[in-house]
Amino acid sequence: MNAHRALRAWPIRPRDSAGLALWDSAALAEAMGGMASGAFQVSGVEIDSRDVRPGDLFFALKGETTDGHRFLDKAFANGAAAAVVDRSIDWPHILVPETGAALMALAARSRSRAAAVRIGVTGSVGKTGVKEAIFAALDRASRGQAHRSVRSYNNHVGVPLSLARMPARCRYGVFEMGMNHAGEIADLTATVRPHVAVITTIAPAHIENLGSEEAIADAKGEIFAGLEPRGTAVIPADSPHFERLRGHAGAAGAKIISFGRAAHADLRLLDAIPSANGGALVTADFGDTRLCYSVAEPGEHWIANSLAVMAAVRAAGGDLGSAGLALAEMGGLKGRGARHRIAAIGGHALLIDESYNANPASMRATLHQLGQTPASRRIAVLGSMKELGEFAPAFHAQLAEPLAEANVDHAVLVGDEMRALARDLGKGAGGALAGGLTFAHCDGPAEAIAALEEFGIAVGDAILVKGSNSIGLGRLVTHFAARDHGGRDG
| Superfamily classification of domain 21-98 | MurE/MurF, N-terminal domain (3.40.1390.10)
**Which part of the chain is CATH 3.40.1390.10?**
21-98
The set of residues, in sequence order, having a beta carbon less than 8 Å from that of 431 and lying 6+ positions away, is: none
Q: Check residue 407 and give its pLDDT.
A: 94
pTM comes to 0.80
> Quick one: which of 161, 125, 139 has its CA closest to 363?
125
CA contacts within 13 A on the Cβ side of 454: 13
Please check the confidence at residue 32 and state whether its pLDDT lies above 80: yes
Question: Which residue type is seen at 48?
Answer: D
Q: How confident is the model at residue 18 (pLDDT cuts 50, 70, 90)?
A: low
Mean pLDDT, to the nearest integer, of 19-43? 94
Q: What is the pLDDT of residues 45-66, one digit of tens each?
A: 999 999 999 999 999 999 888 8
- When pLDDT is averaged across residues 290-297 and rounded to a whole number, the result is 93
Task: For residue 110, give every residue at least 6 positions away whose Cβ sits within 8 Å of its Cβ, in sequence order, or none.
Answer: 31, 163, 164, 165, 166, 168
Whole-angstrom distance, CA of residue 424 vs CA of residue 434: 9
Continuous H helices in 183-319: 184-192, 207-210, 213-221, 242-251, 300-315
Higher pLDDT, 42 or 486: 42
Backbone angles phi, psi at 218, to 5 degrees: -65, -40
The mean pLDDT of 108-133, rounded to a whole number, is: 94
Q: In this structure, which topology does domain 114-329 adopt according to CATH?
A: UDP-N-acetylmuramoyl-L-alanine:D-glutamate ligase (3.40.1190)
Bridge partner residues of 137 (DSSP): none
What fold, for 338-488? Protein-Tyrosine Phosphatase; Chain A (3.90.190)
- pLDDT (mean) for 189-198: 98
Judge contact between 286 and 111, C-beta under 8 A.
Answer: no
Looking at residue 391, what is its pLDDT?
87
CA 470 to chain centre: 17
* Band of residue 489 on the pLDDT scale cut at 50, 70, 90: very low
How much of the chain exceeds pLDDT 90, in percent? 73
Question: What is residue 300's predicted lDDT score, i.e. its pLDDT?
Answer: 85
Based on C-alpha coordinates, what's the Rg of the chain? 24
Does residue 343 register a pLDDT over 70? yes
E strand intervals along 170-302: 172-176, 196-199, 232-236, 255-260, 267-274, 280-285, 290-295
Residue 3: pLDDT band with limits 50, 70, 90? low
The bridge status of strand 347-354 relative to strand 255-260 is: unpaired
| CB neighbourhood size of 16 (10 A) | 9
What letter does residue 183 receive in the DSSP assignment?
T
* Cβ pair 194, 218 in contact under 8 A: no
- C-alpha pair distances (Å), 105 with each of 28, 73, 164: 10, 25, 9
Largest CA distance in the chain: 82
What is the bridge-based pairing of β-strands 146-148 and 82-85? Answer: unpaired
The rounded distance, in Å, linking the Cα atoms of 191 and 104 is: 8
Residues in the chain: 490
The pLDDT of 174-202, averaged and rounded, is 95
Tell me: pLDDT of 433 over 50. no
pLDDT band of 490, cuts 50, 70, 90: very low
Residues of the chain with CATH 3.40.1190.10: 114-329
Separation of alpha carbons 141 and 115, rounded Å? 16
Residue 35 forms beta bridges with which residues?
Answer: 95
DSSP E strand boundaries for 31-81: 35-36, 41-42, 44-46, 56-59
431 pLDDT more than 60: no
Q: How far apart are CA 148 and CA 159, in angstroms?
A: 10
pLDDT value of residue 415: 94
Where along the chain do the CATH 3.90.190.20 domains lie? 338-488
- The residue among 30 and 386 whose pLDDT is bigger is 30
Mean pLDDT of 159-167: 97
The pLDDT, as a whole number, for residue 337 is: 77
- Say whether pLDDT at 8 is over 60: no
pLDDT confidence bin for 351, thresholds 50/70/90: very high
Which of 420, 384, 380, 381 has the alpha carbon at shortest distance from 404?
A: 380
Residue of 130 and 7 predicted with greater confidence: 130
Residue 488 has pLDDT above 50, yes or no: no
- Asked if residue 11 has pLDDT above 90, the reply is no
- Pairing relation of β-strands 377-383 and 410-414? parallel
Q: Which of 87-101, 129-143, 259-273, 321-335 has the lowest mean pLDDT?
A: 321-335
